[in-house]
Structure 1
């Protein structure tokens, strides 16, 4: 292997870690408040919701699709679970109903994409609008409050001194990594994303795998909804607005290809950390929210350009 190719492979493999470390060092120099235990724990707590959503997005993107509905589905499932709990339903049942609803909504979109042949962008864009509308109808545009203390555990609780959202993020990451790395279903996702027709001719149940991918993304939305609702101690009808963009950003920055067939859970976690630390650092530096949007957009463009360079070099 040539020295140039060795350098290229090393950059591809460790580039995210190097970028994350460099970003941490830079923000530590620019803001003394950044590298403190309380701030770093706060960053991880805030990153958790986006990382969970991004895990579901990663599965969909590896398959060669996209899911624009995750933020709106998060709001809907959070509102329904919170509404049931505040009305006196048992908390575990309320949470379970929210998660089941999320999986069913995601799977329904998968059915339209797989069996009706509709474009993923259009189906999930419609889902984004429909789920947000249903949330506003269900809540009448007002937040749902008065939640039982047990409902707040996933968002505001702690275990061994570590906030519960971090534990939820870690467990969902482990599940996603296992799915993609060690299961036949994970290999089928990569195969479909790489070449759907070849996967079909090889005996991969393409339609069912597509439905699974969107159902898994729905599960991620439901789980993120429980974490966010518990952290805020309320279900906001506008919750999750724009979250789909952050989830896509974390997935793309993490090395997944929007063309499908490439990506992994480790890269997505690192991408979510980079986006989260960047947001936190700009807030500490009092950077205007207008400029923050510009910076995040440039980061996404940079990740896409790097992705294209990798594809061309291969």
Structure 2
């Protein structure tokens, strides 16, 4: 009985090694830098996690069906640039469209729909390439990554974008139920991410589409024999993912107060790593929304800890790369152990 318990503890530590190490790192950081363990820093981490969680939710659907989406980061950048060019102040000197009329506050929502529609088109192409042409998702979405980046370069001419109207910035920086001197309020960004998480959880767990998605990830041939329209399901997954990238890019642009073609670069790798840390298997068929949230939170805490500890930015990239490799390696280890 004792031996069994030891083995279970050992397996737990190995399978969740990254989370354990990062929890210890957070404790050390809090001891060395007391400002790390403050409510203001917790809010900053939550605000950084929110758009990344939305993007990771999109990637998770692709991973669950044994696919991936390497175009996620570039779609985030495209959405941020597209929103930025359409939501600049009327009197901004470097306005991208000088003759664009000043529409009302409803225009902010309209621009969000435009971003979602544009990215959804690219997502549909991804789905068609993966499902009908049967191009491996890694290759298909890698090609789309370059296409979207090229489109963004052509559209913006690689020009940085800024001067956003206050109604757009308020989407990411505003707070709900704020009471001056008493309560800072709940950030809109947090509420939007919470709403997205709840919707995705419902889709994954309570709808036929969610069941089909897990069935495809478990055994695509068996799912197809059982009557699941695998091609249609995959297309829906990639379109939904692209729509979430658009929403994430829209919010990131509003939060940053500016955008460029390089915004979102590499975020797809962060999202894949976060999903894997949170238990979404790259081998398909396994994954929960709560796990995605934990993975994104862990990855963001890693970056914040390194910043507070004064680690050089160059070394931070090395640390993040190691986390990605280890996360995938542990996922493969768990997959092999189950076979």
TM-score by length of 2: 0.85
* Cα distance change, pair 179–9 in 1 and its aligned pair in 2 (3 A): farther
2:268 is matched with which residue?
Answer: 244
Structure 1 range deviating more: 173-182 or 267-276? 173-182
> In the aligned structure 2, how far is the partner of 1:196 from the partner of 1:220?
24
1:135 is matched with which residue?
Answer: 152
> In the aligned structure 2, how far is the partner of 1:178 from the partner of 1:11?
31
1:60-209 → structure 2 map (5 Å cutoff): 60-86=62-88, 87=100, 88-89=102-103, 90-160=107-177, 161-209=185-233
2:181 is matched with which residue?
Answer: none
The secondary structure found in structure 2 opposite 1:33 is helix
Match of 2:255 among 213, 231, 251: 231
* Cα distance change, pair 269–15 in 1 and its aligned pair in 2 (3 A): farther
* Cα distance change, pair 110–239 in 1 and its aligned pair in 2 (3 A): same
Match of 1:56 among 46, 58, 66: 58
Structure showing greater Rg = 2
2:237 is matched with which residue?
Answer: 213
Report the CA distance between 1:19 and its aligned residue.
5.9
Report the CA distance between 1:301 and its aligned residue.
2.8
> In the aligned structure 2, how far is the partner of 1:193 from the partner of 1:298?
26
2:298 is matched with which residue?
Answer: 274
Q: Deviations over 1:164-214 (max 9, x none)?
A: 222222111111111112211111111101111000001111000100111
Asked whether the 8 Å contact 2:214–2:284 carries over to 1, the reply is yes
Structure 1 range deviating more: 107-116 or 267-276? 107-116
Structure 1: 5+ residue stretches without partners = none
Structure 2: 5+ residue stretches without partners = 89-99, 178-184
Structure 1 range deviating more: 146-155 or 216-225? 146-155
The number of residues matched between the two structures is 314
Report the CA distance between 1:20 and its aligned residue.
5.9
Report the CA distance between 1:6 and its aligned residue.
6.1
